[in-house]
């Protein structure tokens, strides 16, 4: 099993390390945040704290096996006390969940990431060996407290035990790997992705233009909340290394364009978007000018599971244009796949992820 590491890097300056001795395993310690959005809540809180010169780590894991990187590895992070921070290549937080099935997925991703980071740092994947700074490897925050000092936390021991994972089991799972599992040229990790490393002078607009894609797509696939990017940041451009627009999306858009009676070029550009907005405007009785404004918004019904119509079709088409490809060809029916796609879109753009297409979702989707 391999994972995509989503990047939501903080716009802060990180100091240089003294050594790359540790990868530190944490968990949030927040027993009041165990719901479906626990990962998002923790990341949002940590980002706020980091901007105020507070604590932050490089990675978060949660949400059923998602991995999100918010700070650079190989630079100082502030999650394990003044004595260990300058020696920690990476620090990984585990968001809590009360769902055993989700925890299992989170734990597998957590172990995978800790091992991967240790290999990157050139240290052993053994857990909590030795008692000094010279004892390189993966360490729990508890080990840091007991042996290095500068902090008094005891995570993630108790949380793992709540879900039946002892430190012995944790150590076994971490040690069962070799370097080739992560660094082999034939490794299947992210096999079909095209990437761009941000250089000085780059902007999302210039990158989108270079790869013949859109800013919306780049923000969506990289889970960016703004257009801010950093030199050295690794951006996903495409999930198909030979074409920035996956063939499935290309084919579906051509089908949509055929339904609209416009040129079938497979590109979700201004002509296609305006034609779709005109279609929904005609459906709801608004002036069909191809631009989404207050009049159209006031006449648009709330769309949710079980409804059908051309307004549903237009929402499905725009979701496809935003790379929610599990929908397939729009069918005018608001079923489970549409609900799931809307929820993912809402999550990506910081909206309430309820799967219902209301005014805020329409405004973001049609803009």
Give the tens place of pLDDT for each residue, 58-111.
999 999 999 999 999 999 999 999 999 999 999 999 999 999 999 999 999 999
pLDDT confidence of residue 248 = 58
Three-class DSSP labels, the chain: CCCCEEECCCCCCCCECCCCCEEEECCCCCCCCCCCCHHHHHHHHHHHHHHCCCCECCEEEECCCEEEECCCCCECCECCCCCCHHHEEEEEEECCCCCHHHHHHHHHHHHHHHHHHHHHHCCCCCECCCCCCCCCEEEEHHHHHHHCCCCCCCCCHHHHHHCCCCHHHHHHHHHCCCCHHHHCCCCCCCCCCEEEECCCCCCHHHHHHHCCCCHHHHHHHCCCCCCCCCCCCEEEEECCCCCCCCHHHHHHHHHHHHHHCCCCCCCCCHHHHHHHHHHHHHHHCCCCCCCCCHHHHHHCCCECCCCECHHHHHHHHHHHHCCCHHHCCCCCECCHHHHHHHHHHHHHCCCCCCCCECHHHHHHHHC
pLDDT confidence of residue 110 = 96
Domain 247-366 is of which CATH architecture?
Orthogonal Bundle (1.10)
Return the CATH superfamily for domain 194-238: LysM domain (3.10.350.10)
Domain boundaries, the chain: 5-183, 194-238, 247-366
Q: What is the CATH number of domain 5-183?
A: 3.40.80.10
Q: How far is CA 159 from the centre of its chain?
A: 23
Please indicate whether the domains covering 5-183 and 194-238 agree at the CATH topology level. Answer: no
pLDDT confidence of residue 240 = 42
pLDDT confidence of residue 41 = 92
pLDDT confidence of residue 196 = 82
pLDDT confidence of residue 193 = 55
Mean pLDDT by 10 residues, the chain (367 residues): 81 94 97 91 94 96 92 96 97 96 93 91 90 94 96 96 92 68 37 70 84 72 73 70 49 88 87 94 94 94 94 94 76 91 85 93 92
């Amino acid at each position: 099993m391999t994972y995509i590491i989503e990047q939501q890097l903080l716009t802060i300056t990180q100091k240089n390390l003294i050594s790359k001795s540790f990868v530190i395993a944490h968990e949030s310690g927040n027993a009041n945040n165990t719901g479906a959005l626990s990962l998002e809540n923790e990341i949002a809180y940590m980002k706020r704290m980091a901007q105020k010169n507070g604590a932050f780590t490089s990675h978060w894991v949660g949400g059923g096996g998602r991995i999100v990187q918010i700070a650079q590895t190989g630079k100082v992070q502030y999650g394990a006390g003044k004595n260990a921070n300058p020696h920690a290549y990476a620090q990984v937080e585990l968001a809590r969940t009360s769902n055993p099935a989700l925890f299992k997925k989170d734990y597998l991703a957590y172990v995978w990431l800790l091992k991967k980071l240790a290999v990157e740092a050139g240290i052993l994947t053994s857990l909590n060996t030795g008692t000094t700074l010279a004892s390189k490897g993966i360490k729990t925050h508890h080990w840091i407290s007991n042996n290095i000092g500068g902090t008094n936390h005891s995570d993630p021991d108790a949380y793992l035990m709540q879900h039946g994972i002892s430190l012995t089991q944790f150590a076994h799972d971490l040690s069962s790997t070799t370097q080739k599992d992560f660094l082999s040229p034939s490794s299947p990790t992210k096999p079909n992705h095209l990437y761009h490393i941000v250089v000085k002078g780059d902007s999302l607009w210039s990158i989108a233009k270079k790869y013949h894609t859109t800013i919306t797509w780049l923000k969506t696939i990289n889970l960016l909340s703004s257009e801010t990017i950093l030199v050295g940041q690794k951006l996903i451009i495409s999930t198909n290394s030979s074409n920035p627009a996956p063939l499935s999306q290309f084919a579906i858009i051509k089908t949509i364009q055929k339904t609209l009676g416009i040129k079938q070029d497979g590109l979700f550009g201004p002509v296609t978007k305006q034609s779709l907005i005109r279609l929904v405007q005609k459906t709801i009785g608004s002036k069909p000018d191809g631009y989404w404004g207050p009049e159209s918004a006031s006449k648009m019904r709330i769309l949710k599971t079980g409804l059908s119509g051309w307004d549903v079709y237009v929402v499905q088409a725009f979701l496809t244009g935003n790379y929610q490809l599990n929908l397939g060809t729009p069918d005018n029916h608001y079923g489970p796949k549409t609900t799931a796609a809307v929820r993912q879109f809402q999550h990506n753009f910081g909206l309430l992820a309820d799967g219902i297409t209301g005014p805020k979702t329409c405004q973001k989707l049609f803009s």
